[in-house]
Amino acid sequence: MVVTRFAPSPTGYLHIGGLRTALFSYLWAKKNGGKFFLRIEDTDKARNSVEAAEAILRAFEWLGLEHDGEIIYQSRRDDIYAAYIKQLLDEGKAYRCYMSKEELDALRETQMANKERAKYDGRYRDFNGIPPEGRDSVIRIKSPLSGEIIVRDGVKGDVVFRAEDILDDFVIARSDGSPTYNFVVAVDDSLMGVTEVIRGDDHLSNTPKQIVVYEALGFALPKFNHVPMIHNSEGKKLSKRDGATDVMAYKDMGYTPEALLNFLVRLGWSHGDQEIFSMDEMIELFNPKDINRSASIYNTEKLDWLSSHYIKNMSNDKLAKLLEFYGLALTSHDKKEILLDALKDRAKTIKELANLIGEIVVAPENYDEATMTKAFKGEAVDVLKAFMIKINSSNELHLPSDYHHLMEEVVKEMEVGFGKIGQPLRVALLGKLSGPALDSVMAIIGKDETLQRISKALSAHSSI
């Protein structure tokens, strides 16, 4: 069975880089009918926060990414880690090191002066004398001193590390007994039965250390897949300014989960030149072997394009539900269908859609003189007046086509082009020269409001 996991450290919000590896892990588990677990790596008490862990869970909920089983919190597993550390000590695969901070600093300084890599020199590796009195000890794992550690990576191929370049007998438990990062990651991935690790390639250099832990404990290695980073358009690591913000900020900006997940799956993974993927398609088609080997580029226009695609194709019921987030109660509005049909292909985000709705349902407060002068040329005033008479004398005005019909009648009777009514009417109704179809706008705001807006515009125009 394929078992994957997402293992965020709750030091901040979930950002899109993390979410992307979570999505990849989720898809690969689902595709294989496997399990996708969530593990909160909250051992760093100084940097972790409960709020950050909760924010991560909220983001998962918003996106509909469900994890299997119970969430694992590393902070609750001290006993488990302690048992494995004891095992390694008992087997002579780990040992206590009594080096003081001063000794360690002195060693570092000498190494740096000699332009050597700073690393522990192994002085307690074979120590079996009497420990220096009153000294705390850390526990170090015996790592290979020479030879190669090969990370067989599903994305990058075999990555070869020379033990002497990257390893030393690194600390697996601090002097207060608390286990260190690489140790707990390896222990947990094994105990959780993780078969495939999919994570950012900023973790590639940790992997040899984790492999040392796996081997010391006699655990089977999972398959590693290290995903290249997301870059901005200048080829640099994505910063907050570029969009590496809290995933929930995308909700506030009005993106839908469908659009965001589709956007993320294409950042670093491809299936031919297909751009649009439903969740089912992602699950069916995703395979870590198709993850690109080079960094991917974050592109806001692409996100906007996907977002408008999903909005355009979304049912009005679902849109109405999403609009509630912006304080709009359209679910049982009698003009919901006309309104959303008229606007859904004009909005890049749900927030924009909410604004567009606002621009229709709220009458223009005042009219810009220049815009008005531009739109009210020639017979405009007479055409609008004639249109008002038509509206007044029609009782059955409900659908956009009812209004459209009246507009047609007016231009025909007055022998003018359609633009002669369109431009001034648009400004009268919306206060600007662009916007959705006018017949829909009138159907949405209704007969009385239409008349009021036109007469308000006419009097504003007469006082210019």
Q: Footprint of ligand GLU on this chain (CB under 6 A)?
A: 7-9, 41, 185, 199, 203
Q: Residue 187 or residue 357: which is nearer to ligand GLU going by CB?
A: 187
CA angle at residue 421 from 418 to 423, to 5 degrees?
Answer: 100
Nearest distance, CB of residue 241 and ligand GLU, angstroms: 21
Instruction: Look at residues 183, 188, 178 and name the one whose alpha carbon lies nearest to residue 212.
Output: 183
Give phi and psi for 280, each to the nearest 5: -60, -40
Q: Residue 57 or residue 107: which is nearer to ligand GLU going by CB?
A: 57
Q: Residue 247 or residue 383: which is nearer to ligand GLU going by CB?
A: 247
Nearest distance, CB of residue 41 and ligand GLU, angstroms: 4
Alpha-carbon distance 202 to 183, whole Å? 17
Nearest distance, CB of residue 22 and ligand GLU, angstroms: 10
Nearest distance, CB of residue 203 and ligand GLU, angstroms: 5
Nearest distance, CB of residue 148 and ligand GLU, angstroms: 22
Q: Residue 199 or residue 348: which is nearer to ligand GLU going by CB?
A: 199
In the block, tokens 């950002």 appear at 15
Determine the residue with CB nearest ligand GLU: 199
- 232 φ/ψ sector (left φ>0, alpha ψ -120 to 50, else beta): beta
302 is catalytic: no
Q: Under a CB-based contact definition with an 8 Å cutoff, are residues 140 and 148 in contact?
A: no
Helices 400-414 + 438-462 axis angle, to 10:
50
Alpha-carbon distance 382 to 411, whole Å? 11
Q: Residue 9 or residue 440: which is nearer to ligand GLU going by CB?
A: 9
DSSP-derived letter for residue 434 is -
Q: Under a CB-based contact definition with an 8 Å cutoff, are residues 209 and 161 in contact?
A: no
The single residue of 86, 236, 240, 312 carrying the catalytic annotation is 240
Element (H, E) at 35: strand 35-40
DSSP-derived letter for residue 220 is P
Q: Point out the residues that are catalytic.
A: 240
